[in-house]
Amino acid sequence: MGDNNFTRRGFLKTLGLTVGAMALEPSFNQVEAANQLVEKNTKPSAGGLPVRTLGSGAAAFDVSALGFGVMGMTYNRSQHPDRRQCIRLLHEAVDRGITLFDTAIIYGPLTNEILAGEALSEFRGKINVTTKFGHEVVNGKGTGRQDSRPATIRRYCEESLRRLKTDCLPMFYQHRFDPQTPIEDVAGTIGDLMKEGKVLHWGMCEVSPETIRKAHAECPLTAIQSEYHLMHRLVEENGVLDTCKNLGIGFVPYSPLNRGFLGGCINEYTVFDRNNDNRHTLPRFQPEAMRANTRIVNVLQDFGRERGMTSSQVALGWLLQKAPFIVPIPGTTKLSHLEENLRTLDFDVSPEEWKALELAVAQIPVVGSRYNAEQQKQVGF
């Protein structure tokens, strides 16, 4: 057992170095090798992480098939381990082959970027820490407003560079659409930051197909981020996923486990920390809604029992098989959950089986909206 673990960890370190080198020095041969790996969706060795490509052409960005959402380590997910334990877990994620880490200015605010910078800056060139602008932050507090004016984007970029302890952001997302700033101005500003070498790629979160097309025409997008899982499939219905496919843009589902619910560890009796957890404000996380929606988790658990999978692995596996340009970013504060998430990549499930799961889940109505009215107003469609 010890020798196998050593081999696995050694391989993943090598994989991380290889992917990082490809991101920094994308020679033709390196890019070609990565593309072949994505097309075959193969694993270089037992336990290794396959590589997926977000975006296309000059906007292409090679990352591990599963990323890591850092948000819950400091923000909106109730109690969490202390800073040293969080750093230790992030280092484990790197060691196990994850090369995409996601944070944002509004998480904390600011504290999540600070943690990511402290924990991950030593791996510059090996992994990629992406962040987001858009939510207005004044004196370290969120105002609830959006501000994507060019001067603000530039200021947020400089501040994120300092907190993340780097001189270039691998990807900079607009976190929420700013109705007061034309998207062409946002895209143009990002394009200028790219020319200056401060940003490598860019993306947007929770926006409409029309907005995606306008932004992409001005400055090619690498990824769109939106909530997507078996209990929220709006991007399949509103054209966002098709637009990404048609334009060669990657897709990064956030909350791929529906804020932990699909993992089966949350129920109507769960008590959320009202000082650091937004779930108690969400209609879908009210006790009566969770009681009703547990039927969906039961379907995932039944499906998983027949295949040796947990409900979390079923939820992540379903996302991964939807399209090769999808890279989920589950977050966790537990080593056991990190291992569980990564082991999703070890399972083989046929398209027919996934379709049967979809149909079974679709028979159960989802109770409760995903956002309250105030938060829903911030979504760009």
How many distinct helices (H) and strands (E) make up the chain?
Answer: 14, 11
Residue 359 Cα distances to 38, 100, 235, 282, 299, angstroms: 28, 32, 17, 26, 11
Instruction: Give yes or no: 107 in active site.
Output: yes
The CA distance from 221 to 223, in Å, is 6
Q: Which residues of 88-104 are buried (b: 16+ CB within 10 A; e: fewer)?
A: ebbeebbebbbbbbbbb
Query: Do 193 and 200 meet the contact criterion of CB atoms below 8 Å apart?
Result: no
The CA distance from 62 to 128, in Å, is 10
The angle subtended at Cα 110 by Cα 104 and Cα 114, nearest 5°, is 90
Closest-CA residue to 244 (of 322, 302, 161, 188): 322
Q: How many CB atoms lie within 10 A of CB 377?
A: 11
Those residues whose C-beta lies under 8 Å from the C-beta of residue 197, and which sit 6 or more positions away, are: 167, 168
Catalytic one among 107, 156, 228, 254? 107
Query: Do 208 and 380 meet the contact criterion of CB atoms below 8 Å apart?
Result: yes
Task: Please identify every residue annotated as catalytic.
Answer: 107
